[in-house]
Structure 1
Amino acid sequence: MSDVKYMGLTRDGNSWEPQFVTELDQGSCIGCGRCYKVCPRDVFDLVEREIDEDDDAYDDYDDDVVMVMELKNAGDCIGCSACSTVCPKNCHTHTSASSMA
């Protein structure tokens, strides 16, 4: 019964529990910014990341740096999971509200 305080209801009465973003895999991130654009709470930021010599995913890049997302204000996440819904590379890891208590 302790999980009840973390649960909510959707408009039609179905149970819903927030899934907070807890990690972002910058190695998989392509810096598309979709999560940044869809997030209503300013949780993400676009930053530079140096390319590893062993990283074959960036062989076509002339630069030594790529832009990727990072968690800027993870504590502001409301658990809507919109970021992972729009991410083409599945970079986000979420944890349920009841697991974080």
Structure 2
Amino acid sequence: MACLTGKTRGGADWIPAFAIAIDPEKCIGCGRCFKACARGVLGPEDFYDEETDTERMVMSLVNPDNCVGCGACGTTCPKGCFSFAPLEV
């Protein structure tokens, strides 16, 4: 299978990596990724942490089909919560 590809402004090949998951165990709910995403892919979600027996806010992929594969969310994430993958066509 081939991957969706694009070109950079300089003409180099670019393979976008789309956000496919956020690890709620790592996410601290800081919202940096939410602010970085211009496409409305992310949103807050309540997460029950069994280890601490508390509920806290984490980010989730609320509109994953809006992702353009820019990677801004993962770049701003201080905890490395995101998983990315190219789109196979």
The answer to whether TM tops 0.5 is yes
Please name the residue that 2:76 is paired with.
Answer: 86
Bigger fraction of residues in helix:
1
Uncovered stretches (5+) of structure 1, i.e. residues with no partner: 56-62
Please name the residue that 2:86 is paired with.
Answer: 96
Q: Percent identity among equivalent residues?
A: 39
Larger Rg: 1
Secondary structure of the structure 2 residue equivalent to 1:75: helix
Please name the residue that 2:40 is paired with.
Answer: 42
4+ residue runs over 3 A deviation: none
Kindly provide the CA deviation profile for residues 55-76 of structure 1, in whole angstroms up to 9, marking residues without a partner as x. 4xxxxxxx82211101100111
Distance in 1 of aligned mates of 2:43 and 2:5: 28
Please name the residue that 1:10 is paired with.
Answer: 8
Distance in 2 of aligned mates of 1:75 and 1:13: 26
Aligned length: 89
After TM superposition, the score normalised by the length of structure 2 is 0.89
1:71 aligns with 2:61: yes
